[in-house]
Amino acid sequence: MNKKSLSNTQELLAEAKRSILFTTVRPEVVMEKGEGLYLWDTDGKKYLDFVGGWAVTSLGHSPAVIAKALTRQSEVLVNASPSFFNIPMIEYARLLVDHTCFDRVFFASSGAEANEGAIKLARKYGSLYRDGAFEIITTVNSFHGRTLATMSATGKKKWENLFEPKVPGFTHVPLNDFAALKAAVNDRTCAVMLEPIQGEGGVFEVASDYIRQLRKLCDEQGILLIFDEVQTGLARTGKLFAYEHYGVEPDVMTLAKGIGGGFPLAALLVKERFNIFEAGDQGGTYSGQPLAMAVGLAVMQEVLAKKLADNAAMQGEYIQKKLHELAARFQLTNIRGKGLLIAFDLPTEQGAAVVAACLRQGLLVNSPQPAMIRLMPALIVTTAEIDAMTQILANVLQEVLG
Ligand SMILES: Cc1ncc(COP(=O)(O)O)c(C=O)c1O
């Protein structure tokens, strides 16, 4: 056994490189603690976090609400087994049902797992009501997760030939091209699945009339409309759920990321008429796990009590205003998004350089595509923190873009 000490950053990084399976390039930083909008690394350096744990830390880092919920629940019941109901599971399901257009909830632990559930539900629906239809239409440039089926659902160019053979039954159409979507529907189609705002793809929003036409088409054809709100759900876009912006109700919605505030938690929500799974069709050891349920319940209660959807809408507008002030100076274009899911384009493919320079200057931002920067801070972000972010960003853009 290796008994070397792990008492400083260099030793920790050396051990990380030795023992953690390589899956992605990470910076030479080890994060140690977080509070509100800030993170600190093991050298005590402070970072203003506008990535928010990847649109996850709705209430900021280490919120007391989550600590309390976990402490209280872990003293009472950590795990009863997925074959029993438990109290926080029932309370949380009721809260979700009360605040959405849906009637039933299945709980999971990650966005990909919730989307797998939605895919299975759509195939079940196809087998029961559409003569075995199993194909699902998704959009080019979409992101739905990293399991085999959700990778096949994802419309990411880079993944086209990865981990062959693909799970069959997914067709990709360009977002907001209704004619292409209509042409893709056939007898084998059981569902259309899309993100109301493509998050990982670079913050591209579905058009209102497209989504209304799509809803009508799904009704006429008897196919399911699934919204993947893993990134847009729970106040991120300035409404509790993004579908509320468009005046349409999907049949199925998936949630993850922000609903757990950093704790692994996901949900699949359906209308009563799609309550069609039979015993054994769907499940999971951690489905409805009490600790996750207590956290989800506490996070959502806090989001509602503090009216964080309103804060997301207001602060999102303020961020866009500040970005517009920088736009002419640095040739920033296409400032876009809703609430606290915002992106803009750089004049050149310098996204990675901007992210790295921001990190050096104590600011965390994300570059979903080579010439884009995305911001998705915690829902509790303040104007003072936005001013601080804008200041660092301006310095970095000056340094990188000149
Ligand atoms: C829209 C969307 N769906 C699904 C996922 C996958 O979620 P998870 O990483 O929790 O499996 C993501 C993750 O970024 C996402 O943005």
Q: What is the pLDDT of residue 5?
A: 86
User: Is there an atom of ligand 1 within 6 Å of 115 CB?
Assistant: yes
Residue 293 lies in a domain: yes
Torsion on CA atoms 344, 347, 350, 353, rounded to nearest 10? -70
As a whole number of angstroms, the distance between CA 324 and CA 137 comes to: 36
Mean pLDDT of the chain: 97
Model confidence at 3, pLDDT cuts 50, 70, 90, reads low
CA-146 nearest atom, ligand 1: 11
Position 157 pLDDT exceeds 70: yes
Residue 395 CA to ligand 1 center (angstroms) comes to 31
Model confidence at 402, pLDDT cuts 50, 70, 90, reads confident
Does residue 300 share a domain with residue 211? yes
Q: What is the pLDDT of residue 235?
A: 98
Backbone φ and ψ of 210, nearest 5°: -60, -45
As a whole number of angstroms, the distance between CA 171 and CA 152 comes to: 9
As a whole number of angstroms, the distance between CA 45 and CA 362 comes to: 7
Domain of residue 329, CATH code: 3.90.1150.10
CA-145 nearest atom, ligand 1: 6
Model confidence at 7, pLDDT cuts 50, 70, 90, reads confident
Residue 230 CA to ligand 1 center (angstroms) comes to 6
pLDDT digits over 240-273, tens only? 999 999 999 999 999 999 999 999 999 999 999 9
Please give the model's pTM, rounded to 2 decimal places.
0.97
Does residue 318 share a domain with residue 275? no
Does residue 105 share a domain with residue 236? yes
CA-54 nearest atom, ligand 1: 14
Does residue 330 share a domain with residue 273? no
Which of 305, 322, 350 represents a domain boundary (last residue)? 305
Domain range for 295 is 64-305
Number of Cβ atoms within 10 Å of the Cβ of 382:
14
Torsion on CA atoms 297, 300, 301, 302, rounded to nearest 10? 120
Q: What is the mean pLDDT of residues 65-93?
A: 97
Q: What is the mean pLDDT of residues 66-79?
A: 98
The pLDDT > 70 percentage for the chain reads 99
User: Is there an atom of ligand 1 within 6 Å of 143 CB?
Assistant: yes
Residue 4 lies in a domain: no
Does residue 202 share a domain with residue 113? yes
Position 1 pLDDT exceeds 90: no
